Amino acid sequence: MADLIPFKAVRPSTDKVALVTTRPYDEYSVAELASWLDFNPFSFLHIVNLAHINQERIDPLRRYRLVANKYSDFKRDGILIQEEQAAIYLYQIKSKKHDFIGFLAGTSLADYENDVIKKHEDTLKYRVENLKDYFNETGFNTEPVLMMYPDCEKLDEWINNKKEETPLYNFATTNKEQHFVWKIDSASEIAFLQETFKNFPNLYIADGHHRSASSRMLLKQNGDKATDAMQYFMSYLICEKSIKINEYNRVIHDLNGIKSDEFLKILEENFKVETVHEYWKPTSKFSFGMYLDGTFYALTLKNKPKSDDILKQLDAQILYDTILKPLLNIKDLRTDNRISYIPGNKNIMELVNKVDSGEFTVGFILYPSTVEEIKLLAENGLTMPPKSTYIEPKMRSGLIIYEF
């Protein structure tokens, strides 16, 4: 039984929503960030940027308090407004390639603790603690945990009917996306959604393991002083059939002292190695693309792992076990500075350019994981290797804000 609650959101005024909301902070280049900050005084980047500037010179807690002050300024000036009534929000993101729709609501930390909400990734303690401190000092979160719920025809029908109503927001963004938000604040509609979600035995975190773990730590830290809002965390709940899972491709600085021709011969012990046409990407599991010395190769695993070995079935784990660790001596995928990652939604030319520039020596292209793999891992208490999936959608920052 999954517990869902409405909450009193803070959100942009209707006339400024397209100016306020932003892509996630880390998706902006330095030049882009400077440009947005320079010409758009309403951008939410003016708030979150304060958490990132002067990283070495200012104490983190002081930075977070500066963020809280700027956030208060936006509320004082009417750029952000506080809802008087708790609501759930239906949020749709449309582009030429994708159409995502789901619910923004509070999800229960009790469900998180009791494994009603399933996880498939490990977290880094320092990141969880830093984010917990950020939540504690600023008092808000604008990046929901992306959560999957099972296919439900009744809910699909309800969503289609709700979309016939006039949305609270309807705006376009410079990356050619269209965004729609409908507010759900009637008691009957909220009760319907709550009862529907109670019939789901589990929800699955698709993206946002650090945010959910930080919310849990925030609740425990505050103890008896915890607010009711701290018992929950904001999630964006989408039907599992609509989630888009991309791979994370890998680029490596060097071949660990192995010459290219020798490296190719060693690979033949575990893989069928074929030279292929340019910009090749794998089309099925157990195959990998490799870019080395200006040439693309297709690597096909010779001996597939047993079907009951869930973790060994993952392509990201296979790459680590057969190439990255034993041949290239990359032991820790999170901390080794010889490896870098490129989201699979990026053009393959980004990987090619990084290798051709000499910054990296070799690139590996993976086949994306599936929803079924994520759920199977979560149900068996297993975790994926770091940077196994780049999952969409990514919600706009500053659109719907959850206060603790």
Predicted local distance difference test score (pLDDT) of residue 208? 95
What is the C-alpha separation between 330 and 176, in angstroms, rounded?
39
List C-alpha distances in Å: 253 to 87, 292, 349, 360, 361: 49, 11, 17, 4, 5
Contact in structure between 80 and 74 (CB atoms under 8 Å): yes
**How many CB atoms are closer than 10 A to CB 395?**
22
Predicted local distance difference test score (pLDDT) of residue 60? 87
Q: Say yes or no to pLDDT of 355 above 90.
A: yes
User: 3-class SS at 90?
Assistant: strand
Predicted local distance difference test score (pLDDT) of residue 55? 55
DSSP state of 249: E
pLDDT digits (tens, 9 = 90+) for 257-286: 999 999 999 999 999 999 998 788 999 999
Predicted local distance difference test score (pLDDT) of residue 84? 96
Domain boundaries, the chain: 4-244+392-403, 246-390
Q: Say yes or no to pLDDT of 252 above 80.
A: yes
The CATH number of the structural domain formed by 246-390 is 3.30.1760.10
Mean pLDDT of 83-93: 98
User: 3-class SS at 385?
Assistant: coil
User: 3-class SS at 371?
Assistant: helix
The percent of residues in the chain predicted with pLDDT above 70, rounded, is 98
Phi, psi of 27 (to 5 degrees): -85, -5
pLDDT digits (tens, 9 = 90+) for 46-62: 999 876 665 556 788 99
DSSP states of 26-50 as a string? GGS-HHHHHHHHHH-TT-THHHHGG
Element (H, E) at 179: strand 178-184
pLDDT digits (tens, 9 = 90+) for 210-235: 999 999 999 999 999 999 999 999 99
Contact in structure between 392 and 99 (CB atoms under 8 Å): no
DSSP state of 397: B
pLDDT digits (tens, 9 = 90+) for 97-145: 899 999 999 999 999 999 999 999 988 899 999 999 999 999 999 999 9
Predicted local distance difference test score (pLDDT) of residue 25? 84
Provide the CA 128 distance to its chain's centre, in angstroms.
15
In the numeric block, which tokens belong to residue 389? 């999936």
Element (H, E) at 132: helix 125-138
User: 3-class SS at 356?
Assistant: helix
Q: Is the previous residue joined to 201 through a cis bond, with omega within 30 degrees of 0?
A: no
pLDDT digits (tens, 9 = 90+) for 295-345: 999 999 999 988 778 899 999 999 999 999 999 999 999 889 999 999 999
pTM of the model: 0.92
How high does pLDDT run on average in the chain? 94
Predicted local distance difference test score (pLDDT) of residue 51? 66
Q: What is the torsional sign of CA 209, 212, 214, 216? A: negative
pLDDT digits (tens, 9 = 90+) for 141-184: 999 999 999 999 999 999 999 999 999 999 999 989 999 999 99
Provide the CA 378 distance to its chain's centre, in angstroms.
17
Contact in structure between 297 and 273 (CB atoms under 8 Å): yes
- Helices 153-162 and 187-198: crossing angle in degrees, nearest 10, is 160
